[in-house]
Structure 1
């Protein structure tokens, strides 16, 4: 029975469109209902399903075939503006099953109609997968296969059909890996050599553990089919195994086929999957299969003479370093990334880029580390990345360089006065120091100071805090981290072990404890926790219930004080969970001994205070007990990070966070954002729905009490009252010892808040009966009693649009907007300045009611607007990581830059709309715009069409295949032969441009999301029409952080 016709009075989950009858039925009951608006992007699919179910029911009631045809044709007549002439012919309904060119016969059809879906389980009466695949191949015009294991026993069953595909010139592509060594080289050799298939293999079995088994058969007729299930390409799986496989169809399940095609194409284009040519790659494949079968990791993860490319997380860091040097002119930089994420590879790739940008010989390099094995491994990494087996020399032990051009030095040897003083201060162009948090004492300091004449200085570390408590970020890098690998990015890229995080209510009321911006007062927490037997009992009980085996557990417990740690260790020991205590006062010898006992299993838990937040590496840690509240994201991630290292026989990190009833100013959003990367609104939805979207393998489980506490806390942050917000501003002003004029940048840095906390979209605030604009200068004046703030009504309206500038991320606008606002008077030159027009249309998208000159005059007289934008620009200049560059194709003089971010009004105004023609940026709502004056097509792409967290029917229209290839879907009525379609296809020969702009979603925390300019694009190929699916090649690779969002496959 259709879900649409189930009794609406039955309780439970459903997704019925609300009709008048349904509304009346619900109104007549006492049922609690949850009704939500259907997202605009999802409505066509939802409505079509609704109508289809009713249409089928209606046709069942009509007995005569001619009457059925007449009924359907009447419906089609009402749609003939879209589907001209699509009326069913009578008197009997018929289907066209195939076409063929004489003398060839039509191919045999599969047992399952190609429009239908089915589940094949090898049960009695089910078609067998093997024969079905053979029949599908007979009519396919292209075949794509993802297969974890490819074996000869499976290939030989379909060998004849594969050869027939080759004879017909049908492209066949296979994706597989060497994981577990289960694939057979003979099978892949046969596919390539005898069947003309293309094969791509991932040799990286550490992160690419491909388990998928799927086929897609594409047909020029558009009737694509596929199989997704459990069957590998072996005889047992295809013939008689207990396998389940779902047959999908482009007609019945288009979203599934679209997702397969998008994901497959992304894999195929990815550098992780490498083309396999038996004569060239056969030996490498066999060795990889042998290693996989033995579960053996190769001696080196990098093979010399291979093109080493960055993983997505490494590419983001490389982009950040480029921003620091190219945009900010900063050449002393620190990279923070967890152990095991490839910091040395990042350094080598960064050095390679510096070499590529340097004319003449490679820059002189000094790489410093504290252990010989690190130096040797790092030298090997650099040689592999540079493709030069003779690159570099070692300094340390018995090794002494002879050329001193590229030196990998032990700090112990290098720091000897007889060594480093013989070299000039500027002898090395590039200095890289690994594990920079070891830079304590005179040893490192002497070397760093001596070589301060280098052109580029790079520090690498897993933690920016030193063992002696000094902050290396402030001491050596002017308080700025160039790039920090985000936890969720590392988890998404399978670099760390997944976590299972449990939030457990401990029954302690912290609402009365003293709380400040830095967190709770330690003495109050100590009083509430130490000796609290009831809480300790709950901790023991939860640990036993959740941890698999406390007798084999290797845990760290983070406590609030020495007394608390000592008390908890006693409680655990009494419960037969062997525990010790390590604090900041524990001697190094005793601490090292305790760590050895934990590693050996003599202890199951170490209770810690003020240690293990950093500088600690024990991959065996499988449990973290958070027995004190932590609001600081830095401390929370450092504590969590102690257990995220991959270790032998360790599949997951268990985290138990014991949560009390918090002070009203405590913020859960800070650490949950660090854990998930989600903003406050997303976190609120996630907490209410059990965190459905997390990196693979990760789970967040909150008990009922904790969930209510967290949701209420998150809700209060999303809807923070004016009174609480201003109190927060006053508190930060006091902390900064400022009584008036607290800068936006200082507030955000001190309060650990972000721009959405200040600029809520569309919001106005009222304080003591005074209604004010949504602007920082207003809030700061209210908080600190600045009586000089008295904007006019007109200026208040302008300040209300200040949030339209919080995305600005390039020096052209940082400088240009403020130059315009400080220009003093309106001149003819100013009215033609593209940056002035971008600024103008940002305030008045459809133009000022009295015209351009009047609007600009109003802006130039608005001193509080100027002050507001100055503060926004000051903050954005610090946090931006964009590396903007001019466009090409005659657009070089336009103010729009690739990789910079713009609102719709800004980008259109920057490309002449509103100045070169009579249109106004605010009047253009479509996702495409042809600007004839510049011979440029502007394409505006929203990756996530639906506001729903997951919408499978709208997800795979526009996406990145690689960082330079982008799949784009045109407007729904665009035909290949239309002027627009032909302009897209032939833009290069016709001398026109295509410029692509992309955003993640239509709306975000700040309201309407801006677009990132990907720059000029070139037509590669297309398929279909109404709409056309076009592959564009970007002139400049997209930013790594955006590619991470835009790619179809992770």
Structure 2
């Protein structure tokens, strides 16, 4: 990599590949230098394929993924010398702009925006963590809108001149036009006015009055969480653009007001902090959850927030807790005379209390707030940068807008209810600085109120579902980006687990009681009102129709034929994520009469099997559909569920000629068999178990791959060596009996007289977080590149279309 801002790979490893099978690896401290080879005392571990085959395979896989990463490029002497010279910030910024291309995580956002607009959502919000490149995303998105010769007018809004100048440079690189755009900030005024980069201060009432509401086709607003301020509301209310794009690290302001009202209360795409960490765009963090024995369970809690006055009284009277904070600093910070920290408090009074207490204990500290005069605030920041002051305590003053790369420690001295504010405050310490290896985070955790949401905080760090957070806490957060650690002491782990388990374990009885209070509401309203994901509701055969009947809101159905199968099947439909299935099935279900059963229609067969009718002959389709249409309650819920799934769908899918499956959509094995019309002798759909399926009608071989193979569920003969090499290449191991010159081997190599295709279906794990069988992501057709050995054949496939970036980022660690 020629990016000298961060270390991407420091490989001290050697692989000696031998055709004999006695391949050897060396991992350790040795460089390939005279001192290392002859004189130095070096420490290495030798790995032999004979003794350490699995470890060596992981070695090879991981290196292969790095080798195929677009960021790692061939050595060029002139370019290397240029990359290692003394840096010039302006030239570096220009060079990065000229080479503008999306990282995989940015491409995922661009894909999501494309899908949202195809669904008619033209006002979109992108929530992106610190360092993930929001401006690059906006620039590339706008460049895409210009395809085909279009030249949409543009207004880009930010609140600082430096941001506007950097954004203009980025957009010029994206559209490949060095004269693109004009500034409206300070003394700069546009002369043409078609593509304007303006400060919010410049878009005052008088200027707005001179501009028509449709003056700009595209309006992009940076730091959109300011949108509730009067100046932003005036601008957003005045303009009526065809496309509105908001960029922010948080859709929630410090005052609790949300900006989602401008976007139909939806987020188009969200980038996790994980992505920035994985790419080295921010420093890794060491997070320590420290139990402080404070009892918050009885503190007033309403509207998702603690009562500030009660917290202030509790914390400012507690010298024991303040002493515990100092002890924790000595335990977790290498040198308390050298660190620089921000401490986030519950109130100004609490910040002043902590600053005074720390200073009395010999740790120079100051408290600052919105009431602090500007010159005093600037002076305090400068003292922190120089080390004259070690800690600045505040309430929410440093959530945004202050760049202090030297901060290497963050203290959370308050229960931060908002996950987005938590990430903002964490982000203050994640910027790179010379000599800064990581950020130390000390989070002081008390016994929380039962309605406090620890799950939101940890989901903001690691992603996933509530159940996934519960598992991560129980297991000690085993899967984190390189260099990161989350460590909860025993009491903190207990407090967090009790809180998260109470949320994950939402009982049927609780949901029934909640439903009685809400009345006979439709599925989307119920999910939103109870803050549930579909995965939280649909498990263990549970569904909304069952809950309504238990709450005596709906009577039992007059037609119960096949009802139980369908009720249980609803939980197995949550993976459906392509427009064709969703729209086709919704159109049918909205009709008053059952569709005419057609055993040759793959989408009817897929609906038949996903509704739980796989054990029945396909000749029962007519009867099954008639029973479903007669069950008004269940058909209503099914239609609502498909609406919910369509609303959350963000990944584009693509037509694959000759099969009813769309690349990058998700399918169960039974759906694949149904789509290929695999019907057995008894008239039932075939249910496959192995890793391959040959279909003569479509002339395709189906490959089913599970990447994270649990030895409990796979025998030694089925633990195949399967993994993604890059977004476009995949390593796959055939069944153990396959020879290169066999009919199957020849099909794989494309050596048949008639065209034959191979289709690749991949999943991360066999089971999802609910314990249900995981479906497969269809990566599309693949082309043979090469293979090694036989019985089994180890084949490298080239994907017809690169796999989704987000999926690759998730599974490359698991596979490698």
Give, in angstroms, the shift of residue 804 of structure 1: 0.9
Matched, 1:912 2:699: no
Cα distance per residue 1:546-588 (max 9 Å; x no partner): 2334444433333334544444344333323344444566676
Q: After superposition, where does 1:748-897 map in structure 2 within 5 Å?
A: 748-760=527-539, 763=540, 773-782=541-550, 785-788=552-555, 792=560, 794-826=562-594, 828-844=596-612, 846-848=614-616, 851-888=620-657, 890-891=658-659, 894=660, 896-897=661-662
Given the superposition, is the C-alpha separation of residues 363 and 954 from structure 1 closer, same or farther in structure 2, using an over 3 Å criterion? farther
Query: Does the 8 Å CA contact 1:555/1:624 hold for their aligned counterparts?
Result: yes
User: What SS does the corresponding residue of 1:1001 show, helix, strand or coil?
Assistant: coil
Distance in structure 2 (CA, Å) of the matches to 1:233 and 1:388: 45
Match of 2:799 in 1: 1034
Return the alpha-carbon distance in structure 1 between the equivalents of residues 431 and 621 of structure 2: 59
For residue 260 of structure 2, the aligned residue among 460, 466, 473 is 473
Distance 1:639 1:743 in 2: 38
What SS class does the counterpart of residue 142 from structure 2 fall into?
A: helix
The 8 Å contact of residues 304 and 389 in structure 1, kept in 2 or not, is answered as: no
How is 1:632-643 mapped onto 2 (pairs within 5 angstroms)? Answer: 632-643=418-429
Q: Residue deviations 1:498-533, cap 9 Å, x none?
A: 222112221233344455571444455445434133
Return the alpha-carbon distance in structure 2 between the equivalents of residues 399 and 615 of structure 1.
Answer: 23
Which of 443, 448, 458 pairs up with 1:662? 448
Correspondences of 1:713-724 after superposition (within 5 Å)? 713-724=499-510
Correspondence for 2:726: 962
* Matched-pair contact (CA < 8 Å) for 2:717–2:736: no
Equivalent pair of 2:128/2:248 in contact (CA under 8 Å)? yes
The question of whether the paired residues in 2 share the 8 Å contact of 1:555 and 1:604 is answered with: yes
Identify if the C-alpha distance between structure 1 residues 394 and 514 changes in structure 2 by more than 3 Å, giving closer, same or farther. closer
What SS is found at the alignment partner of 1:347? helix
Report the Cα distance in structure 2 between the residues aligned to 1:239 and 1:651, rounded to whole angstroms: 32
1:251 aligns with 2:31: no
Judge conservation of contact 1:808–1:901 (CA < 8 Å) in 2.
yes
Deviation at 1:1042, TM superposition (A): 0.7
1:325 aligns with 2:117: yes
Q: CA deviation at 1:272?
A: 0.3
> Are 1:227 and 2:38 counterparts?
no
Correspondent of 1:979 among 728, 736, 743? 743
Which residue pairs with 1:436 in the alignment?
A: 224
SS at match of 1:1036: coil
Deviation, 1:404, is 4.8
Q: Does the 8 Å CA contact 2:565/2:611 hold for their aligned counterparts?
A: no
Deviation of the 1:242 alpha carbon: 1.5
User: Which range is displaced more, 444-453 or 799-808?
Assistant: 444-453
Higher Cα Rg, which structure: 1
- 1:1002 matched to which residue of 2? 766
Cα distance, 1:986 vs structure 2: 0.9
Find the residue that maps to 2:764 and give its secondary structure.
Answer: strand
Query: Is contact 1:303–1:384 with CA below 8 Å preserved after alignment?
Result: no
Superposed CA offset, 1:767-799 (max 9, x none)? xxxxxx5112323554x5425355748423421
User: Structure 1 stretches of 5 or more lacking a match?
Assistant: 1-201, 764-772
Output the CA distance in 1 between the equivalents of 2:96 and 2:280: 24
| Helix, strand or coil at the partner of 2:46 | strand
**Contact 2:727–2:808 at 8 Å: present in 1 too?**
yes
- The alignment partner of 1:796 has SS state of helix
TM-aligned CA distance change 1:636 to 1:414, over 3 Å: closer
Residues 975-1012 of structure 1, C-alpha deviations (whole Å, 9 max, x = no match): 11111111121179732232222211100113111112
Preserved CA contact (<8 Å) 1:845 1:920: no
| Distance in 2 of aligned mates of 1:625 and 1:922 | 58
Q: Cα deviations across residues 317-373 of structure 1 (Å, max 9, x unaligned)?
A: 2222122122x2222222222343222222222233333xx2225544443434443
Q: Which has the higher contact order (CA 8 A, sep 6+)?
A: 2
Q: Secondary structure at the match of 1:934?
A: coil
Match of 2:168 among 372, 375, 379: 379
| Distance in 1, Cα, partners of 2:376 & 2:698 | 72
The 5 A counterparts of 1:596-611 are 596-611=382-397
Structure-1 separation of matches of 2:37 and 2:713: 36
Tell me, what secondary structure is at the counterpart of 2:445? strand
CA–CA distance in 2 between the matches of 1:509 and 1:470?
28
Determine helix, strand or coil for the equivalent of 1:745: helix
User: Contact (CA 8 Å) 2:228, 2:259: kept in 1 or not?
Assistant: no
- Write the distance in 1 (CA, Å) between the matches of 2:708 and 2:302: 39
In structure 2, C-alpha distance between the alignment counterparts of 1:540 and 1:794, rounded to whole Å = 64
2:481 equivalent to 1:695: yes
Counterpart in 1 of 2:82?
Answer: 287
8 Å Cα contact 1:436/1:461 also seen in 2? yes
Change beyond 3 A, Cα 1:904–1:631: farther
Paired with 2:209 and 2:753, the residues of 1 have a C-alpha distance of 61
* In structure 2, distance between residues paired with 1:1030 and 1:254: 18
- Consecutive unaligned residues of structure 2, counting only runs of 5 or more, are none
- Alignment partners' CA distance in 1, 2:654 and 2:708: 26
Let me know the Cα RMSD of the aligned residues: 3.6
CA–CA separation in structure 2 for the residues paired with 1:514 and 1:922: 58
* Equivalent position of 2:251 in the other structure: 464
Distance 1:921 1:662, change over 3 A: farther
SS in 2 for 1:543: helix
Instruction: Decide whether the 8 Å contact of 1:467 with 1:615 is kept in 2.
Output: no
| TM-score in terms of structure 2 length | 0.89
